[in-house]
Amino acid sequence: MILTLCLLKVVISAMTAHLDSPSVQEEACWALYQFTGGGLPWARYQNMVSDRGGVTSALMAISEHERSPSLQAAVTALLGNLVFHHPPNQVTISELGGIDSVAIAALNYPDDVSVQSYASAFLLKMTMEGLNAPQERQFASNVISSGGARAILKGMHRHLDHCGIQVLTLTLILTLTLLVTLIA
């Protein structure tokens, strides 16, 4: 456990020290993505990353390097892991502008499969945790107002042959429709 904490500190420190380097930011985000469980996030490691500044570092990276689609994908993948079944991280990331940042990435890179896949997954995770929770309704409103829904739909049309993007986008649109109905 001590080694794990030391490695985590090194990765986040590198992100802080090398904010101007998209390659350092990208590799650090992929390392944190893997650390938090890769495709199946673990709450214990989500907490470790968010408690040590990983959320803030990732959001700084996505806003500082808007011209790097591979970095945008890495940050969006990490943010998706951090919000998966983790309401405190969902609130924090939303309050720090994470929904807007991911929407901008998706709007800027409609042809990039990785950005579209991770962005649609992130936005879905932000809105689908519990359809009765007030915060998901607020997140849904943020996804719509930020242009996230429009960006994901544009990506869906650009990647008609990508099953994952199609399924994630359709599920997101269904979820947004249900949540907007609850808001009204």
Task: Kindly report the average pLDDT of the chain as a whole number.
Answer: 93
Average pLDDT over residues 62-66: 96
What is the chain's length? 184
Task: With beta carbons less than 8 A apart as the criterion, state whether 75 and 58 touch.
Answer: yes
Average pLDDT over residues 154-167: 97
Average pLDDT over residues 3-9: 86
Q: What is the CATH number of the domain that holds 124?
A: 1.25.10.10
How far apart are the two ends of the chain, measured CA to CA in Å? 48
Name the nearest CA neighbour of 96 among 46, 61, 133.
61
pTM for this structure?
Answer: 0.93
Domain containing 140: what range?
2-183
With a cut of 80, say whether residue 89 has pLDDT above it.
yes
What is the number of structural domains in the chain?
1
Q: What is the CA radius of gyration of the chain?
A: 15
> Using 50, 70 and 90 to split pLDDT, how confident is the model at 183?
low
pLDDT of residue 90: 93
Name the nearest CA neighbour of 141 among 127, 130, 120.
127
Name the nearest CA neighbour of 78 among 13, 34, 12, 24.
34
pLDDT of residue 131: 54
pLDDT of residue 94: 95
